[in-house]
Chains A and B, each alone.
With several copies, the nearest count.
Chain A
Amino acid sequence: MRMLINVPETVVADALRGLAAAHPELTVDVERRVVVRRDAPVAGKVALVSGGGSGHEPLHAGFVGPGMLDAACPGEVFTSPVPDQMVRAAAAVDSGAGVLFVVKNYTGDVLNFEMAAELAEDEGVRVAKVLVDDDVAVTDSLYTAGRRGTGATLFVEKLAGAAAEEGAPLERVEAVARRVVERSRSFGVALSACSTPAKGGPTFDLPPGELEFGVGIHGEPGRERRAMMTSGEIAEAAVDAVLDDLRPADPVLLLVNGMGGTPLLELYGFNAEVRRVLAERRVPVARTLVGNYVTSLDMAGASVTLCAADEELLRLWDAPVRTPALRWGR
């Protein structure tokens, strides 16, 4: 497998060096793997800390900055970070107003963030946690580790981040985050496997003419394999899977997310089909974001995330954000 890397062992450290070089507005501790907005801790502000395995860029480090995360903890590729990182991040960003951990629902992330929360609280930091579990592909969640956290993470980080930036106290910020989780659902497909540096090649073989249906963002196979579908058919299946679980009473925020290897040209075309289907299902769309935001290295494929946005969430969405990967408003 050909990758633009030095050696598999240093990919995360190399990326953090490159992130630091490109973004002077971030403080990057390459050694300890913590990315912090430069002006942290912001007096009186609740801080948001997230993290997870690397390989999903720009998530999470690309979302550090005013209006979104205060710190991110990147783990090894597809491996949740260790508690030490989160404790250090919490200490670096806590102004005394408390810290919200945004955790994607994977066993590894959950366990490591839990340990970190205990340790941080021992050090006197008030910690709240929100678990993101939006992936409707995982249906029988009683018999699994629960629904996975995928695209909705972006919504949680943006909306709770905006609430924190407005000065909301920890309980409010946590409540916003929870509301976003409750109101968000995702579904994804993969048209190819991704290649991890550790494995040095594709994480699974996909026979020609097939696709993986209902995938996560870790290069794992999907819930089922299906015969290749058109963009329009995939949009129908994905939107309907989401709407089966989420009957939005409000206009939605729509994220049409690329897994990394699908060209933007195709992603925009897919957005057209998703919008067509949503219109047919009479779901009004308030805001749309199209791009590679929650990726799975070079996996080809896409996911659809909807968040039923009440007026407050819409206002928080439109609030200014200033991070490497998401940026608007003042």
Chain B
Amino acid sequence: MYDGDFAVRWMAAVAVAVDREAGRLTELDSAIGDADHGANLRRGFTAVAEALAKEPPATPGGVLAAAGRRLISTVGGASGPLYGTLLRRAGKELGEEPAVDREGLARALAAGVAAVGRLGGAVVGDKTMLDALTPAVAALSESFAAARSAAEEGARATVPLRARKGRASYLGERSIGHQDPGATSSALLFAALEEVAEA
């Protein structure tokens, strides 16, 4: 069972990973976007980790919802509202439960991913974060490791795709051959989740 403290540690691990990988994310965004994805997420998850360290909500649902709100009010760009909605929606789904099992977490995140799809209007194959998020939440009912590797696989699978949503879509054919930055950062989310769960 995973409690509020677990969720706080997850978010802190994401912050560390995003900080470490910010350069790579920005590099990927510079190829088919506007070179800010790393800086965006670093700003956002640093704020999330700080807020949670100061006033950690008691429940995992409370933590994820707070993290989502914080992302929305600090990131901006496309990824701010999208990641913010992912976590906020997942948090709301978890409700007031003091702890949740992996299955429950998977269901909540699936609701979050669905909300991301509704908000951004993208589907799997559009070369967005959904290409990593969707297979990852599906695999999460199996194991944390499966979720992580599904996310990574999904991110890699964006390389040959032509973007149809977000900024990369303006490039048309020229978006082909590059890995989507948002899908790449989504994989970091699930790597951090596995790391914290196995620790």
Contacts and interface: CB of A to CB of B under 8 A. Distances in A.
A79 interface: yes
B20 interface: no
Contacts of A218: 33-34, 167
Contacts of B81: 83, 108, 111-112, 114-115
B32 to A, nearest CB: 7
A310 to B, nearest CB: 30
Interface in A126-164: 137-138, 140, 143-145, 148
Contact of B164 (A78, A144, A148, A223): A144
Contact of B72 (A83, A137, A145): A83
Contacts of A148: 170
A198 interface: yes
A115 B72 contact: yes
A90 interface: no
Contact of B76 (A81, A199, A204, A224): A81
A83 B169 CA distance: 24
A125 interface: no
Contacts of A199: 26, 30, 35
Interface string A157-174: 000000000000000000
B120 A220 contact: no
Interface string B29-46: 011111110111001000
Nearest to A139: B172
A258 interface: no
A124 B72 CA distance: 21
B165 interface: yes
Given A78-B34, A111-B78, A223-B172, A198 B119 contact: no
Given A111-B81, A223-B172, A76 B164 contact: no
A199 B28 CA distance: 11
Contacts of B164: 143-144
Nearest to B44: A82
Nearest to B164: A143
Contacts of B73: 82-84
B76 A140 contact: no
Contacts of B39: 8, 76, 79, 198
Query: Which applies to chain B's interface (DSSP): helix, strand, loop or mixed?
Result: helix
A185 B134 CA distance: 37
A66 interface: no
A111 B75 CA distance: 12
Contact of B30 (A75, A79, A203): A203
Interface string A71-93: 00001111111111000000000
Contacts, number: 118
A311 to B, nearest CB: 35
A203 B171 CA distance: 14
B120 A111 contact: yes
A78 B56 CA distance: 32
Contacts of A223: 170-172, 174
A213 to B, nearest CB: 11
A305 interface: no
B36 A76 contact: yes
Contacts of B174: 221, 223-224
A206 to B, nearest CB: 13
B74 interface: yes
B95 interface: no
Interface in B34-80: 34-36, 38-40, 43, 72-80
Nearest to B165: A145
A269 to B, nearest CB: 17
B173 to A, nearest CB: 9
B82 interface: yes
A107 interface: yes
B165 A108 contact: no
Contacts of A65: none
Interface in B127-180: 163-167, 169-172, 174
A49 to B, nearest CB: 15
A301 interface: no
Interface of A: 8, 53, 75-84, 106-108, 111-112, 114-115, 137-138, 140, 143-145, 148, 196, 198-199, 203-204, 216, 218-221, 223-224
15 contacts: A79-B36, A79-B75, A80-B77, A82-B73, A82-B75, A106-B78, A108-B80, A112-B80, A112-B81, A199-B26, A199-B30, A199-B35, A204-B30, A219-B35, A223-B171
Q: Which 4 A-B pairs have the closest CB atoms?
A: A144-B169, A111-B81, A218-B34, A108-B77
